[in-house]
Structure 1
Amino acid sequence: MTGRGREVADLMREKKVDVMCVQETRWKGNKAKELGDGYKLYHSGANKQSRNGVGIVLPGELKNPLIEVHKKNDHIIRLKMCCGGEILNNISTYAPQVGCTEDEKEISGETWIE
């Protein structure tokens, strides 16, 4: 996703997508980033490497009903929001497979269970 933030915002507007989950963002740290035109990416990535990473992109009108952002690790992120009187949980997950060792795959699988 590096350098593609504006493209994601344009695509969401063009296709009328309200919430987009993204994987392999390849950004370090747990932050929120403005993509342009009011779209904001909430992402979770490893601090020591620039691979993996997950995120959720919201348009400006959905940023205010946001209740909680829970960033478990570079494989799981959850946004809790209130829309129309209902509590919604949006979850973006990622399980790396190609190019990973069996140990990495096992560790990734264990994070789903916790």
Structure 2
Amino acid sequence: MTYGAETWTHTKKVVHRLKVAQRAMERAMLGLSLLNKVPNVEIRNRTGITDIVQRAAALKWNWAGQICRREDGRWSRVNLDWQPRTGHRSIGRPPARWRDDIVKAVGKNWMQLTSNRPRWRANEEALVQQWTEIG
């Protein structure tokens, strides 16, 4: 389920879909249907599986740190620094960008923060907690 999760823009819609899919899979593993009316907390205790949203957020956080520490000019790093030629975005509510939730959790200087690995890893919990509460 988390293939490519490092590159996802985590929106409320994506988080909700992940949680619904995980709950459905856990119910199928236990042989339960919605008619059994077993609470999600009980199902999670029985399966012992980690939350998919936490896993996806942690993968994204670790990948962001790796990308920012690269110095070899790969496309992934170049795309982080890229700005559109016009400098303008379309009218209306701007779509969520990949880096928006990282900026929200840590601040605008998140790229400089990645060079200090212990401090970067300490801030991982803030991002993971942010997306766990939303869904």
Structure 1 and Structure 2 fold alike (TM over 0.5)? no
TM-score (norm 1): 0.23
Q: Which has the higher contact order (CA 8 A, sep 6+)?
A: 2
TM-score (norm 2): 0.21
Q: Which has the larger radius of gyration?
A: 2
Structure with more of its chain in helix, by fraction: 2
